[in-house]
Structure 1
């Protein structure tokens, strides 16, 4: 196993590991003792899911989230510089994509350390695949503004890019506000604009449906507290 910073995808929910991750990922994980993680508890659960016999107490975890100071972050790659492979684990999906793991990857690149991204589920890519929208040009915007007026303005801007740039637009919302987001999209966007709602991707109850705004009106699903991604296109 080559010494590197391995970017380790995580399941998007309770999906069995073998359904969405290659066996090779497990081999790599078993060879790593140092993990940079978004959340220590969820990382521990994921590793036990990959291999129940893993001795968690033998592993070292370095938390990387909004509370991590630059001083702490600067020392996280010391084991890698000393010749020990390290892994980066997000709470769900692929690390460093809409994820704080990007900061440590950037640091590894600056230090000319080897970075190896492994194969795994990405809700962004999977939702584009399932939407029927333009997969040649798309943009992910993360969370839209919380304030109603600002969010409506942003939705109109993104819808404008659909028609001016022929580009698929993707965004997410905090799960408990999904229903409000859908209502705002339906109220704001043009009747002919298409909306794809992709929820519980790769998990039980997976829901990926594309309809025009006109077709969605009066028929929106209840997606309270459900992991979801929204896509709009013409």
Structure 2
């Protein structure tokens, strides 16, 4: 039996209509699908309702994959694909499988030679890099840095040293309620000439992308980062 295709479906970066950030071709791909792997069923249903589906919402097959999913549970998530059904993989926001537990499912699909198709949509990381004015030829995404103060300080110093050595832009993110703590830590542990970009609420009405040196950031009021999705970028 021919296996199905795993479609990697981007989701808007905030509460905006899907048609505002997803191409028509992506919406057309979503509509006939009946099987999905999602982080949270409730928010996925809201997105699918807004995107439009040919099948009634209550008849869609939604299985959850999040940070609590055990590796042995991936077999059940792959079962519809093995049975020949096409499956859509959704993240909570942005592109699935990038800083996202969906990467584990994609890895297993690749191992089993299941066709994987990435669809076009918003990526906060690339949007932030595009608007930063930092080095877009050489960059690295570091995900979440340690939450503990001492470990975070060391990680920031190490990233700055790596950026200086390689002329490489370093990107990282933080849980929104800890954004201000991360901002303060970057200012405290970075050299004055290092450039820092704060990219907040990308594609949303409150979008802001500002790049300044550490010395310049220390002279202006801190940005409003309270519970706002933010990408941090540095270039030493």
**TM-score using structure 1 length:** 0.96
User: What is the 5 A alignment of 1:99-114?
Assistant: 99-114=100-115
> After TM superposition, what 4+ stretches of structure 1 lie above 4 angstroms from structure 2?
none
Deviation at 1:177, TM superposition (A): 1.2
Distance (whole Å) between structure 1 residues aligned to residue 32 and residue 53 of structure 2: 15
Distance (whole Å) between structure 1 residues aligned to residue 83 and residue 23 of structure 2: 28
**TM-score using structure 2 length:** 0.95
Distance (whole Å) between structure 2 residues aligned to residue 5 and residue 57 of structure 1: 21
> 5+ residue gaps in structure 2?
none
> 5+ residue gaps in structure 1?
none
Tell me if the contact between 1:175 and 1:224 (Cα under 8 Å) persists in the aligned partners.
Answer: yes
Larger displacement relative to structure 2 (115-124 or 66-75): 66-75
Partner of 1:145: 146
Partner of 1:224: 226
Tell me if the contact between 2:30 and 2:53 (Cα under 8 Å) persists in the aligned partners.
Answer: no
Larger displacement relative to structure 2 (22-31 or 199-208): 22-31
Partner of 2:161: 160
Deviation at 1:54, TM superposition (A): 5.2
1:20 paired with 2:29, answer: no
Matched position secondary structure for 2:164? helix
Tell me if the contact between 1:155 and 1:189 (Cα under 8 Å) persists in the aligned partners.
Answer: yes
Deviation at 1:52, TM superposition (A): 7.5
Distance (whole Å) between structure 1 residues aligned to residue 71 and residue 150 of structure 2: 35
Distance (whole Å) between structure 1 residues aligned to residue 206 and residue 25 of structure 2: 28
Task: Specify whether residues 48 and 79 from structure 1 end up closer, same or farther in structure 2 by C-alpha distance, changes over 3 A only.
Answer: same
Distance (whole Å) between structure 1 residues aligned to residue 145 and residue 87 of structure 2: 33
Matched length? 233
Distance (whole Å) between structure 2 residues aligned to residue 230 and residue 71 of structure 1: 34
Deviation at 1:72, TM superposition (A): 2.2
